[in-house]
Amino acid sequence: MNELVANNPRILLRQLHVVMAESGDPEALLARVVRLIASNMAAEVCSVYLMGADNVLELFATEGLNAEAVHLTRLRVGEGLTGEIAAHARPLSLVDAQAHPKYAYRPETGEEVYHSFAGVPLLRGGRVLGVLIVQNRTPRNYTDEDVEALQTIAMVLAEMVGSGPLAEPTLFGDGDQAAFLPRRVEGRVLSDGLAMGHAVLHAPRIEVSHTIADDVPDERRRLTEAVGNLRDGIEDMLASSKAAKSGESRDILETYRMFAHDHGWLMRLEAAVDSGLTAEAAVMRVHEETRARMHEVADPYLRERLADLDDLANRLFQHLIGRAGGSLKVELPDQAVLVARDLGPAELLDYDPGRLRAVLLENGSATSHAAIVARALEIPVLGRCDQVTDLVFPGDLIVVDGDHGQAFLRPGENIVEAFTNSLKARAERRAHFAALRDLPAVSKDGTTVSLNINAGLLIDMHHLQVTGADGVGLYRTELNFMVRASMPSIRQQTEYYSRVLDQADDCPVVFRTLDIGGDKLLPYQNADHKEENPAMGWRAIRIALDRPALLRSQLRALLQAAAGRSLSVMFPMVSEVAEFRAARRLLQVELDRLERFDRPRPASLKVGTMLEVPALVWQLPTLLAEIDFLSIGSNDLVQFLFAVDRTSARVADRYDRLSPIVLSLFQDVVRQCERANTPVSLCGDMAGSPLDAMALVGLGFRSVSMPPAAIGPVKQMVRTLDVGRLAAFLSTRVDGVEHSLRDTLEDYAHKEGVVI
């Protein structure tokens, strides 16, 4: 009985390389390729489907199916068995393909007589270029070795389609001339700021010209040596990089180092070499397979680690081809905008920060390692810029608006002029706000307002000095957990919180305990099930009380870090007094532990809670008697108040946070806090908008917390405001039924000379 792998696949690969070295009509070459594969692998059918620009798979060559079906048979991604392989970027083998629920019969192919089926994706650069299929009449159980042989052949074929003789314009049609016109792209702000520069495409991919190993033991030696050099290079980076000197940036690079020492990754590389591939080809194959698997991962944090794997594979390529240091560094123009599909943190550090003005990414999130390092270097970054690597050409002028999540490719003179003016005005505003840094936030009628910043990373703490803020009104402790590959120990947490307090100097810091869950999953957190509405699901204090050891370890670290210093702790997402009491009891357990072991206590300890859940409003009289302070989380509270998902583009702006409903609620909370003599503050987007903050001050708030960049504008507003007049003005309007008071408040500000 014939086996699928009838001949040595290495012989077939050598034959394919001969074809790759030839010139001629690309479709004729592809026809020769499928004949070679079918003949060598004892397959009655071998077909290649290629992905078109419209994400439709088209039959481009076949040996065994009806020749008339070429260019006629087309399948959408996800349609049929071939579309299923493309949709999930993973192999599929079946004894009886026609019994599979995804089987889609195409009568023009004549494939109804073929039962056994095996197919693998053509992967290159993390993208599916097509699908390679073999079929036989007799039902056959394809082995793992059969599928592995197909994957090796598919890797070579993907190179032929992506950059070799098959990568001809006639294969896919003419280019789009519109690609050279000006274009605006939208993205998600990962690191804010404005920038303009010329495009540099981050394309460190190394082309593999030699796939088949002549000497397998020598390839194993080369791989081992390259991996060793890769690890040494990472150690050098940890020792010398500016961004690795402190805080989360070092934690990120430590995680990156862990990837490089992953035993499973090295074993897969070695197995690929043992199968007969060169070290370079082995790296490419394992890399592409890993990318395909990672794209199937639902956890957004784990998907972001794909960028780290990209970086490692590309660096290993560099070591294998003998480039000193394995660096991906390229020479940048004086003002450069880096454009990439994704970016690892070490890749970003390879570029000269003095010349790098901004970064545009097709993927990426605010928790990606590259984004966090970029914020440390104060480089604007936009992520989720759809197909930007296909839209940009090297040297293109790009304007990046990292404040509003947009970029302009090849902008016209009017855009450049407007941007230049905006940049100049921004510099003037910064200079103006810098002049306010040491002036108090006191209104015209003598009311003092405490302006604090929101922070979550050590790199945020320098904003205290830069802005002249009074303190940190909200320190999001979960971000330190999210940038790590494993749960930080109590010792690591203690050191971290101690450094936060050190950098705050004598400024107060309010630490919010872990607000994880929902869309903020930790990489080492097991999600028991997918929640339909994670914002109102198992998160924050709910997780902490269900996992008391997690909360106790954090509280112990906070208490130890604050020994002899003031400490303020705040519990998030509290829905009822009973939850606060349960959390407070865990804190007391840790305080008692300090006493038992004669450990130093904080000089002072204040315990509060966030008001984010409307149900807590009806328990405020009882709650206020038990807490030291209250902080309103306006983002979640307004979301829950209106039953609006603030991440939904359709409804997020449907209701206004300056509606009488919201303002009357806030006014009632402030009055209850005043009667109970309990300090109240507000953190959230409202506090960072001068107009919204004006309303809050008019309602009685004397402490607000906001993004650092908002301190200057809000301070300017306070210093031009008469709080008494505004309070009287609002008192007659917060009980109304209007949709919003925004226009009314804007008119008031203009008439009263309040700078908003």
pLDDT, mean of residues 578-607: 95
**Confidence grade of residue 298 (pLDDT, cut at 50, 70, 90):** low
Give the pLDDT mean for 650-672: 90
Q: Describe the chain by its helix, strand, coil percentages, rounded to 5.
A: 50, 15, 35
**Residue 296: per-residue pLDDT:** 60
Please tell me the class of the 436-752 domain.
Answer: alpha beta
The burial class, CB within 10 Å (0-12 / 13-18 / 19+), for 740 is middle
**Residue 518: pLDDT band with limits 50, 70, 90:** low
User: For 183-414, CATH number?
Assistant: 3.50.30.10
pLDDT band at 169, cuts 50/70/90? Answer: very low
User: Which residues are CB-neighbours of 425 under 8 A, at least 6 positions away?
Assistant: none
The pLDDT of 483-505, averaged and rounded, is 88
Residue 527, pLDDT > 80, answer: no
Domain ranges of the chain: 9-171, 183-414, 436-752
What pLDDT band is residue 178 in, cutting at 50, 70 and 90? very low
The pLDDT value given to residue 440: 94
* Neighbour tally for 646: CB within 10 Å: 16
Percentage of the residues of the chain whose pLDDT score is greater than 70: 83
468 pLDDT higher than 80: yes
Q: With a cut of 70, say whether residue 280 has pLDDT above it.
A: yes
pLDDT in tens, 432-462: 888 888 899 999 999 999 999 998 878 788 8
Q: Which residue has the tokens 């009263």?
A: 752
pLDDT average, residue stretch 262-266: 77
Residues 200-252: pLDDT tens digits? 888 655 567 677 778 888 999 999 988 888 888 777 766 665 555 555 556 66
Whole-number average pLDDT of the chain: 83
Q: Is the pLDDT of residue 127 over 80?
A: no
- List strand residue ranges (DSSP E) for 256-355, in order: 336-340
CA angle 309, 186, 638 (to 5 degrees): 95
Backbone torsions φ then ψ of 249, nearest 5 degrees:
-60, -40
Lowest-confidence region among 102-116, 119-133, 300-314, 354-368: 300-314
CA–CA distance, 534 with 310 (Å, rounded to integer)? 30
Indicate the range of 40-54, 163-177, 442-456, 554-568 predicted with least confidence.
Answer: 163-177
CATH architecture of 9-171: 2-Layer Sandwich (3.30)
Is the model's pLDDT at 345 over the cut of 90?
no
CB neighbour burial string for 239-270, b if at least 16 within 10 angstroms, e if fewer: eebebbeebbbebbbebbbebbeeeebeebbb
Between 209 and 31, the higher pLDDT residue: 31
Q: Which pLDDT belongs to residue 163?
A: 61
Is the separation of the CB atoms in 572 and 541 below 8 Å? yes
pLDDT at 324 over 50: no
- pTM: predicted TM-score of the whole model, two decimal places: 0.62
Average pLDDT over residues 725-744: 92
Give per-residue pLDDT as tens, 533-553.
Answer: 777 888 889 989 989 999 999
Terminal-to-terminal C-alpha distance of the chain: 82
Mean pLDDT (whole number) for 565-584: 96
